[in-house]
Amino acid sequence: MSDDEPDVNISGGSAGGGTAAEFAAGAADTRAEAVVDRLGELYWQKTYGGQDAFECLVRTVLSQNTSDVASQPAHDALMERYADRDDADGLADALAHADHGELADTIRSAGLYNQKATVLIDAAERVLAEHGSADAFDEYVREREPATVRDELLDLDGVGPKTADCVLLFAGGRGGVFPVDTHVHRIYRRLGVAPPDADHEAVRAVLERDVPAAKCGFGHTASIQFGREYCSARKPACLDGPEACPMADLCEQVGVDPGSGRVVDPADAASDGR
């Protein structure tokens, strides 16, 4: 197991916290759990939670549809301009009253900055209107029924399932939440753990059913790292042979054909009858 988590991993890097933990491996009841156990040996085993919920929401909105490398500077610039470390409500207050153009300019490096500025201002207004303070929102995320919290987060314009699930995991510390980003969506369909044509929500349902609640958090963050290092979108490591991927014996390689070097989305492989 390694604690070698990259600083730029906005979903779970050093800024995302996480506490080293140990979970029993080797008794995996499902292939999904066996994959997560191996990721735990390869990278890290951690538990998450404890981030401020509103800041976590801001961070995750900034990371939508872009790389952590692009969104981290936007996050840093936003925090420098709008956060007051001595006032828990400072960030939400400041964003609720922010000038749209100025905020958009501050977060420009994250891409889609006009849209994201609108989402952040609206979210700040809603959180303060409905919870009274960022602290109360934080408590709500940590303590209320996860499905209720998830529904409320999804009701915010610009907040989709991955963003809501990241807030539940990294702020709420909720077990049994396995956020599905583009890496997770690709990897578990290639592995054959989820159906090839499963959408993000269907992949999430499989993982949250088959992976024990306590392992879902590091399953998410370590999968992202695995997607970057081994099972990338265009050049999965197994194109160089099964010995190049530590997950090869657990994988059905759906959509990956090392013989021809052809790589397609698993859904397209299924419709091709391959």
Q: Least distance (Å) from ligand SF4 to the CB of residue 75?
A: 30
Cβ proximity to ligand SF4, 80 vs 243, nearer residue: 243
Please pick, from the candidates 74, 184, 231, 269, the single residue that binds ligand SF4 as defined by CB under 6 A: 231
By CB under 6 A, the residues from 176 to 215 that bind ligand SF4 are 190-191
Stretch that binds ligand SF4, among 15-23, 40-48, 118-126, 248-256 (CB under 6 A): 248-256
- Euclidean distance between CA atoms 9 and 225, whole angstroms: 8
Cβ proximity to ligand SF4, 74 vs 251, nearer residue: 251
Q: Residue 118: how many CB atoms within 10 A of its CB?
A: 15
User: Which residues share a beta bridge with 262?
Assistant: 257
CA angle 5, 10, 14 (to 5 degrees): 40
Task: Evaluate whether 96 touches 129 at the Cβ level (below 8 Å).
Answer: no
Stretch that binds ligand SF4, among 9-17, 122-130, 196-204, 247-255 (CB under 6 A): 247-255
User: Which residues share a beta bridge with 263?
Assistant: 256
Compute CA distances 32 → 11, 90, 184, 185, 189, whole Å: 20, 41, 12, 13, 11
* Residue linked to tokens 């290639």: 190
By CB under 6 A, the residues from 253 to 272 that bind ligand SF4 are 253, 256
Determine if 247 is a binding residue for ligand SF4 (CB under 6 A).
yes
Which positions touch ligand SF4 (CB under 6 A)? 190-191, 230-231, 236-238, 245, 247-248, 251, 253, 256
